[in-house]
Amino acid sequence: MDKDSIKESIKYELLYTFAKDIGQATTEELYMAFALTVRNEIMKKWANTKKIMESGEYKTLYYLSIEFLTGKFWGNNIINIDDIEIYKQVCNELGIPFSQLEEYENEPGIGNGGLGRLAAAFMESLTTLNLPAYGCGIRYEYGLFNQKIINGYQIEHADNWLSDRNVWEVECKDEIVEVKFGGNIIETWEDGRLKIDYRNYYSIYAIPYDIPVVGYDSDIVNTLRLWSAKSYNDINMDWFNRGNYLKASEEKVLAESISKVLYPEDNNPDGKRLRLKQQYFFVSATIQNIIKKSKGKFPLWALSDNVVIHINDTHPALAIPELMRILMDEEGMGWDEAWNITTKTCAYTNHTIMGEALEKWPIDLFKEVLPRIYMIIKEINDRQLHRLNREGTNDWEKIDKMTIIAYDQIRMANLCLEGCYSINGVSKLHTDILKKEVFSDFYAIFPHKFHSVTNGITYRRWLMHANPGLSDLITDAIGTRWKYDSHELEGLHKFSEDSAFRDSFSDVKRYNKQKLAKYISDKTGIHVDPESIFDVQIKRIHEYKRQFLNVLNILYMYDLLLENPSRDIHPRTFIFAGKAAPGYYRAKLIIKLINSIANRINGDIRLNNKLKVVFLENYNVTLAEKIIPAAEISEQISTAGMEASGTGNMKLMLNGALTLGTLDGANVEIKEAVGDQNIFIFGLTADQVENYHKYGGYNSKAIYDNDANVKKVVNQLVNGFLSPENSMMFRSLYNYLLYEEGGITDRYMILKDFDSYRHVHSIVDDQYKMPDIWWKKAILNVAGAGRFSSDESIKNYNSDIWHLSKMGD
Ligand code: 26Q
């Protein structure tokens, strides 16, 4: 749209929605008018896409994910369909601050972290590539909690993101689906067939809310379909008439609680009944919806030629037994036919190798909530055992690892490995570990099922939207093609040698740092020096991600400066952000530790402002968009082998931050992309970590006893240095490093990696003092980031796993 049509539309929407003109409108109304203007542009394409998809001409992907972390819609949609500069000009001319409108929108927080963000990125890239897809998930009424830091502690507040009208969703009442829970199954034989009679169940209804997914300059608009739970048992009149009004409405409240709130655990599943119900709720609604749409278009035996059901981690794994149930119980197929179709239609991505993060459900709970689904899983399990037997496997250790049901639990990853035609890891290293270790027995039997697809990011959001300065600089240097093809960023290679370009590049970074410094001072009152190195660790707080290691090194640097305040260290600002699961005690204590150290260091005038520590509260996509453009060091320091991929690492390199990390997840591929000279690698390798775990030999106490640096910083946790008011506060963290807990000491090998970590930090310091070298490295990071576009990941999924064709071709 040109400027005049945008202005016309704004005036029209204000008049006909709110009966106001621009001068009278509130920020909310202005936002609405702008959002509706953008939405109107999307609608035509969306309607058209829906029509084509309904024709059944194209094989369609259903991407099932319990989380979609979309980030705000408005700004990103503008970038994808239009020219954001025009909108900025319109705002300017009308005297409305563009940023104020952007700020006004609530970010939908319906994901925890990497997995949810990846799902949203994939939907966007599918659309950009004109591939037909539905994202399917849950419309949580409350997203991930809002985090406040009070007195250094994390305090959680409910995230009621739907409190205002959400212009980006459309309720589709006509496509409501019934989902059944509980009850019991009566099996009878009729004409030689098993008949399933499902009794005493209770119904919850699933209403879809559709959100348009806009791609970059794309011909189509895909759909993100989020299901909301609804009960029609408004009031139980028996209870009502007896005067028990609370009880009378209880059923409805309980039923609708299914889509009430997102579970805030990340990589740390908790086997709660409601969580299981959430999983079945959106999976059953989706699969029923798929079957309904398929019938009439093609025979169900041809399902896998027309549909792919992608299972994003094990949370939607019930898609497998649910599809079996519908094909058998409702469509009358026999087991073998249904199994053949199911195993050709479903594909699975694994996102974790940590044992405790692999989902398991207790049989008793499962049977009670989903009796029919349990029967089907039991049958899949029994048939698997028969097959293993037939194949002559009598290695019980192996069978023990592979079965779906064992020790009174259902193991969801094993269900996926049996029931899917494809399984993939999310980085090269991660896939190797899956093949060699976690799922090695499956790999021996089904090597053809295994694929590796490295994660990616929506690079346009992270450059064009988050970092317009860098985006313009890139365009000036290499033209606009990079906006369509991320590999074009390689064209920046030669500019890394160009000193004028390096100067402009560092100017952009300085400007972004000044902006962030202002934000930090507004939010926290802490003054940070924009000339200092901005060293960031922004991600969920988790032991394996080792924010603790970062903290110990900060203590070490602090001690060095106290010894000699005029020591030649380039000033450094450490920036943290991230949420801890509310029930994760140790992660929350780490947040308190970071804040205690921040307090101590930021108030210590002896340091001449050489060191600052900042914890920014409420990390989410919007905050990431503020921090990442200003970052210079990207801390990716998980214990090797633990981080499946990481995607924050990709966003940060794309914005010219240098990775300081272990050889873990996608860091390995980042190193390949930028070259050894342009990344700071430290610590044990995944193989070394694995060997310590297997064969023992790691003794953190010996490191403490023999390394004076380690001893000093570890002692500072408990000698009142950080918390004079309560020196016991961090005792449990101290104990964790030095004393056994469940047979393990310092499980994530923090002390083992400490020396090499502190050493690599001193190299960072040396190199930052040589600006020519530093900015060259930073530019080479941007140049090498192209391969981490989610467009690229989707192309790989499509050629290796999905085999969809582009719409329009
Ligand atoms: C499961 C059951 C019950 C409650 C919660 C959960 C649950 C929820 C979220 C389990 C795991 C998650 C999220 C995992 C996650 O975000 N994993 C990350 O996925 C990214 C995308 O592949 C990777 O880049 C990260 O390395 C990985 O940690």
- Mind listing the pLDDT tens digit for each residue in 459-474? 999 999 999 999 999 9
Mutate to test the pocket of ligand 1, among 115, 270, 431, 458 (most ligand atoms within 8 A of CB): 115
Name the DSSP class of 205. Answer: E
Atom of ligand 1 nearest to the CA of 647: 24
- Residue 788 has a pLDDT of 98
- Identify each DSSP E strand in 458-607 by its residue range: 533-538, 572-577
Any idea which residues carry the catalytic annotation? Answer: 351, 539-540, 545, 647, 651
Atom of ligand 1 nearest to the CA of 118: 21
Q: Within the chain, what is the greatest distance between any pair of CA atoms?
A: 91
Percent of the chain scored above 70 by pLDDT?
A: 100
Above 80 in pLDDT, residue 248?
no
Distance 643 CA to ligand 1 centre (A): 10
Q: Which string of DSSP letters, residue by residue, matches 436-494?
A: IIITHHHHHH-GGGEEE----B-HHIIIIIT-HHHHHHHHHHH-SGGGT-GGGGGGGGG
Q: Is 645 in the pocket of ligand 1 (CB under 6 A)?
A: yes
Joined together, the tokens standing for residue 525 give 């009152």
- Residue 357 has a pLDDT of 84
Distance 114 CA to ligand 1 centre (A): 7
- Residue 326 has a pLDDT of 98
Interatomic CA distance for residues 624 and 144, integer angstroms: 15
- What are the two backbone dihedrals, phi and then psi, of residue 451, each rounded to the nearest 5 degrees? -135, 160
Could you tell me the pTM of the whole model?
0.97
Residue closest via CA to ligand 1's atom 13 equals 266
Residue closest via CA to ligand 1's atom 25 equals 646
Q: Is 69 in the pocket of ligand 1 (CB under 6 A)?
A: no
Average pLDDT over residues 443-455: 97
Atom of ligand 1 nearest to the CA of 665: 26
Mutate to test the pocket of ligand 1, among 352, 452, 457, 642 (most ligand atoms within 8 A of CB): 352
Distance 294 CA to ligand 1 centre (A): 31
Above 80 in pLDDT, residue 663?
yes
Q: Is 113 in the pocket of ligand 1 (CB under 6 A)?
A: yes
Interatomic CA distance for residues 314 and 279, integer angstroms: 10
Q: Which residue has the tokens 């542009």?
A: 41
Above 80 in pLDDT, residue 783?
yes
Name the DSSP class of 379. Answer: H
Average pLDDT over residues 655-674: 98
Asked whether 321 and 373 are in contact (CB, 8 A), the reply is yes
Average pLDDT over residues 236-247: 76
Q: Is 269 in the pocket of ligand 1 (CB under 6 A)?
A: yes
Distance 295 CA to ligand 1 centre (A): 34
Task: Give how far the C-alpha of residue 740 lies from the chain's centroid of Cα atoms, to the nearest Å.
Answer: 32
Interatomic CA distance for residues 668 and 663, integer angstroms: 5
Atom of ligand 1 nearest to the CA of 67: 9
- Residue 391 has a pLDDT of 83
Average pLDDT over residues 271-288: 95
β-strands 202-214, 170-171 pairing: antiparallel
Q: Is 117 in the pocket of ligand 1 (CB under 6 A)?
A: no
Distance 312 CA to ligand 1 centre (A): 10
Model confidence pLDDT, tens digit, residues 294-341 = 998 999 999 999 999 999 999 999 999 999 999 999 999 999 999 999
Partners of 229 in beta bridges:
206
Distance 301 CA to ligand 1 centre (A): 34
Q: Is 270 in the pocket of ligand 1 (CB under 6 A)?
A: yes
Interatomic CA distance for residues 33 and 39, integer angstroms: 10
Atom of ligand 1 nearest to the CA of 265: 5
pLDDT band at 727 (very low <50, low <70, confident <90, very high): confident
Residue closest via CA to ligand 1's atom 12 equals 266
Mutate to test the pocket of ligand 1, among 138, 277, 351 (most ligand atoms within 8 A of CB): 351
Interatomic CA distance for residues 74 and 102, integer angstroms: 7
Model confidence pLDDT, tens digit, residues 150-159 = 999 999 999 9
Domains in the chain: boundaries: 1-55+74-103, 56-71+107-455+795-802, 459-683+753-788
Number of helical (H) and strand (E) elements in the chain, helices listed first: 33, 23
Above 90 in pLDDT, residue 697?
no
Above 80 in pLDDT, residue 809?
no
Asked whether 133 and 799 are in contact (CB, 8 A), the reply is no
Rg of the chain taking only CA atoms, in angstroms: 27
- Residue 255 has a pLDDT of 84
- Residue 232 has a pLDDT of 82
- Residue 238 has a pLDDT of 76
Distance 235 CA to ligand 1 centre (A): 38
Mutate to test the pocket of ligand 1, among 267, 282, 621 (most ligand atoms within 8 A of CB): 267
With vertex at residue 397, the alpha carbon angle to CA 395 and CA 399, rounded to the nearest 5 degrees, is: 70
Above 90 in pLDDT, residue 620?
yes
Partners of 612 in beta bridges:
573
The CATH number corresponding to 459-683+753-788 among 3.20.20.70, 3.40.50.620, 3.40.50.10680, 3.40.50.2000 equals: 3.40.50.2000
Average pLDDT over residues 690-703: 94
Q: Which of 480, 477, 428 is closest to 455 using CA atoms?
A: 428
- Residue 242 has a pLDDT of 81
Please indicate whether the domains covering 56-71+107-455+795-802 and 459-683+753-788 agree at the CATH topology level.
yes
Q: Which of 488, 441, 490, 483 is closest to 462 using CA atoms?
A: 483
Q: Which of 459, 643, 633 is closest to 550 using CA atoms?
A: 633
Partners of 744 in beta bridges:
741
Q: Which of 497, 570, 477, 504 is closest to 773 using CA atoms?
A: 497
Q: Is 115 in the pocket of ligand 1 (CB under 6 A)?
A: yes
pLDDT band at 230 (very low <50, low <70, confident <90, very high): very high
Q: Is 114 in the pocket of ligand 1 (CB under 6 A)?
A: yes
- Which one has a higher pLDDT value, 383 or 238? 383
Average pLDDT, the chain: 95
Above 90 in pLDDT, residue 192?
no
pLDDT band at 522 (very low <50, low <70, confident <90, very high): very high
Residue closest via CA to ligand 1's atom 11 equals 267
Please name the helix (run of DSSP H) or strand (run of DSSP E) that holds residue 515, with its range, or none: helix 499-524
Interatomic CA distance for residues 405 and 412, integer angstroms: 9
Asked whether 401 and 437 are in contact (CB, 8 A), the reply is no
Name the DSSP class of 434. Answer: I
Interatomic CA distance for residues 130 and 149, integer angstroms: 43
Distance 320 CA to ligand 1 centre (A): 20
Q: Is 65 in the pocket of ligand 1 (CB under 6 A)?
A: no
Q: Which residue has the tokens 């342009």?
A: 678
Model confidence pLDDT, tens digit, residues 1-17 = 899 999 999 999 999 99
Amino acid at 318: L
Q: For residue 484, what are the CA distances in angstroms to 129, 294, 786?
A: 10, 34, 11
Asked whether 377 and 415 are in contact (CB, 8 A), the reply is yes
Joined together, the tokens standing for residue 122 give 């994939």
Q: Which of 81-90, 549-558, 659-668 has the lowest mean pLDDT?
A: 81-90
pLDDT band at 263 (very low <50, low <70, confident <90, very high): very high
Mutate to test the pocket of ligand 1, among 64, 65, 69, 112 (most ligand atoms within 8 A of CB): 112
- Residue 8 has a pLDDT of 96
Distance 544 CA to ligand 1 centre (A): 13
Atom of ligand 1 nearest to the CA of 275: 3
pLDDT band at 167 (very low <50, low <70, confident <90, very high): very high
Amino acid at 184: N
Above 90 in pLDDT, residue 235?
no
Distance 314 CA to ligand 1 centre (A): 10
Q: Is 643 in the pocket of ligand 1 (CB under 6 A)?
A: yes
pLDDT band at 249 (very low <50, low <70, confident <90, very high): confident
With vertex at residue 550, the alpha carbon angle to CA 547 and CA 553, rounded to the nearest 5 degrees, is: 155
- Residue 278 has a pLDDT of 97
Asked whether 99 and 525 are in contact (CB, 8 A), the reply is no
Per CATH, the number for 56-71+107-455+795-802 is 3.40.50.2000
Q: Which of 228-242, 431-445, 607-621, 760-774 has the lowest mean pLDDT?
A: 228-242
Q: Is 429 in the pocket of ligand 1 (CB under 6 A)?
A: no
Distance 473 CA to ligand 1 centre (A): 35
- Residue 347 has a pLDDT of 98
Residue closest via CA to ligand 1's atom 8 equals 266
Interatomic CA distance for residues 224 and 65, integer angstroms: 11
- Residue 394 has a pLDDT of 76
Q: Which of 199-203, 341-345, 455-459, 657-661 has the lowest mean pLDDT?
A: 199-203
Percent of the chain scored above 90 by pLDDT?
A: 90
Q: Is 455 in the pocket of ligand 1 (CB under 6 A)?
A: yes
